[in-house]
Structures are given as structure tokens and as C-alpha cells.
Amino acid sequence: MLKKVLVVDDSELIHNMYRLILKKYQECEVVKAMNGKEALNKLIVEDNIDLILLDINMPVMNGISFLENIRKEGKYTHIPIIIISTEGKEEDTKRGLKLGAKGYIVKPFKSVMLHNLIEDIVKGTAVAVG
């Protein structure tokens, strides 16, 4: 069961959408970061992050740089990460998966796709790609 999800995306609208989707799916707390640098800081101050939903294209620090940083650190490798990116960025998604992301979804997506991917990852059944 998810208790706390870190959403890393530079769109306020996307944050609101994830909050609604996750509330409908599970009553979990959503922690917001607008870019990779802010997300790194959130990981330091927030306890018990269970999952990270990560956009790739963001200002200040993009999703790939964020992944590189947390993998170097080694401290957060236990937190599953789902890349949620726009169509046409397949090379970024493949790179993100090589850096340890557990799955990805292409925007726009149906909420059930995200729910199913989260279930697969939380259960540890498989790396799901959507």
C-alpha cells in the first residue's frame, strides 16, 4: 500500500490530476516537486517516499539528470520510479529505464493504466511498460 508519492512535474495542472487519480486509487499523501532539483531536496526532508512519478522534460533539472543523481547517491535506489513522459521521447524513456526506473507511461494516459502499473511495481511482479 502506498502512503506517500513524490510527483515530479513542472505543471501545476498535472500535479492536480495526479492528486485526483491517486486519491481515487489509494488514500496516499502526494508530495509535489516542480523539477528534479526540488525533488532531490524533497527526498532529503520527506520520510518514507513509496513511489516517484517522474516527468522527463522540466526546467532547472530534468528527469534524466534527477535519475542520474539519485542513482549516484545510492540512498534512494529502493524507491520505485515511474517515468511519465510525452510521446516521441522514446530515447529518454529507454535511458531512464537503464538508470533504474521501473516502468513508464506515455502522456496522455487513462488513470487505470497508472493504477495497473503501480500495482505491478508495488507487488514486484514485473517491470511494466505502458
Q: What is the arithmetic mean of pLDDT over 106-127?
A: 80
| Between 20 and 33, the higher pLDDT residue | 33
Whether the Cβ atoms of residue 88 and residue 109 lie closer than 8 Å to each other: no
The predicted-structure confidence for 93-114, as pLDDT tens digits, reads as follows 788 888 889 988 888 888 888 8
Q: Kindly indicate the confidence band of residue 128, based on its pLDDT and cuts at 50, 70 and 90.
A: very low
Please name the residues in contact with 77: beta carbons below 8 A apart, sequence gap of 6 or more.
70, 71, 100
Cis ω before 59 (30° cut-off from 0): no
Query: What domains can be seen in the chain, in order of their start residue?
Result: 4-123 (3.40.50.2300)
The full 3-state SS of the chain, as one line of letters, equals CCCEEEEECCCHHHHHHHHHHHHHHCCCEEEEECCHHHHHHHHHHCCCCCEEEECCCCCCCCHHHHHHHHHHHCCCCCCCEEEEEECCCHHHHHHHHHCCCCEEEEECCCHHHHHHHHHHHHHCCCCCEC
What's the CA gap between 60 and 24, in Å, rounded? Answer: 31
The predicted-structure confidence for 39-90, as pLDDT tens digits, reads as follows 999 999 998 899 999 999 899 999 999 999 998 888 898 899 999 887 656 7
